[in-house]
Chain A
């Protein structure tokens, strides 16, 4: 006898992600899932962004790391609410981890929630945590072959921030190739070229983030 099922295998994660999205939407919070390889500059970008926009927008941060509280300490120096999740080996954050720590954050005092995912170019792209937008960071020192080697993250992100462009003169990498391959994988990908060290290009990212926050969730009615 055949028993029809037709059920999505990752449905449990998707269901919790939808619940997270509802909690954040009810609190009028715009949420970002910030992803990159280790060392690309997620925490530095976040520090700069909070420093520049913190007067206008109230940030809240969820830090995902395998272990340690380094990033949470850096972010909390800005006086914003931050919770550190230690995955103790897991290579990505999932919707349930976010769901469990949301009660620890003062949601009514937050306009933008940034989930800084575990540094990894592979797995974070596969798990919806309930964010409104996925943004990825690629540092130029990682090489221009990355879009074609790790396509999924480039495909699922709304925006790509290419960081450390102040180092371009010292490296054999082609920004043009990164742009071309990333856009080949994702036509609508918004690309920013920045240096968190010199500040170059960051204004455009700040402007986009504020506009994107106003647009809110693109996931439609919940």
Chain B
């Protein structure tokens, strides 16, 4: 997708957070990325490293938590999680009446900063 612009948005969030809380050196930025969000994690790590110099996260590592795709099937009334990015039928019962509620995440969770 647009990993460099996503990396820049992450750095904006880090800068805003640091400006608001007056924190010191950022050591780690933890983000949550859903598997169906369209983001390539390798490319995001590379973009983050390219873009971070001159920001409060200049020496920070980006830690990506990948969230698998999951949902709820109304046919079998169970929750499911899959390895794939897209779900065409309920992996438990093959039913068609399901909703997807996990796997589209794209958010900054927290920062580790030097006190």
Chain A contacts to B: CB under 8 angstroms: 1-12, 122-123, 126, 151-152, 155, 181, 184-185, 187
Contacts and interface: CB of A to CB of B under 8 A. Distances in A.
Contacts of A11: 9
22 contacts: A1-B23, A1-B115, A3-B21, A4-B109, A5-B108, A5-B110, A5-B111, A6-B108, A6-B110, A7-B107, A7-B108, A8-B107, A9-B10, A9-B13, A9-B108, A10-B6, A11-B9, A12-B12, A122-B1, A126-B38, A184-B89, A184-B96
Interface in B83-115: 85-86, 88-89, 96-97, 106-115
A181 B108 CA distance: 34
Nearest to A154: B86
Interface in B44-92: 85-86, 88-89
B17 interface: yes
Given A10-B106, A184-B89, 8 more contacts: A1-B115, A3-B21, A3-B113, A123-B1, A123-B2, A152-B38, A155-B86, A185-B86
B4 interface: no
Given A9-B10, A12-B9, A152-B38, A2 B107 contact: no
Given A123-B1, A187-B96, A187-B97, A4 B9 contact: no
Contacts of B38: 126, 152
A35 to B, nearest CB: 15
Contacts of A185: 86, 88
B5 to A, nearest CB: 9
Given A1-B23, A123-B1, A185-B86, A6 B96 contact: no
A102 to B, nearest CB: 22
Contact of B9 (A10, A155, A181): A10
B101 to A, nearest CB: 13
A6 B89 CA distance: 31
A8 B113 contact: no
Contacts of B88: 181, 184-185
A1 B12 contact: no
Contact of A4 (B2, B6, B86, B110): B110
9 A-B pairs with least C-beta separation: A3-B111, A5-B108, A184-B88, A9-B106, A1-B115, A9-B9, A151-B86, A4-B110, A8-B107
Nearest to A5: B108
A12 B13 CA distance: 10
Contacts of A122: 1
Given A12-B9, A123-B1, A187-B97, A5 B17 contact: yes
Contacts of A184: 88-89, 96
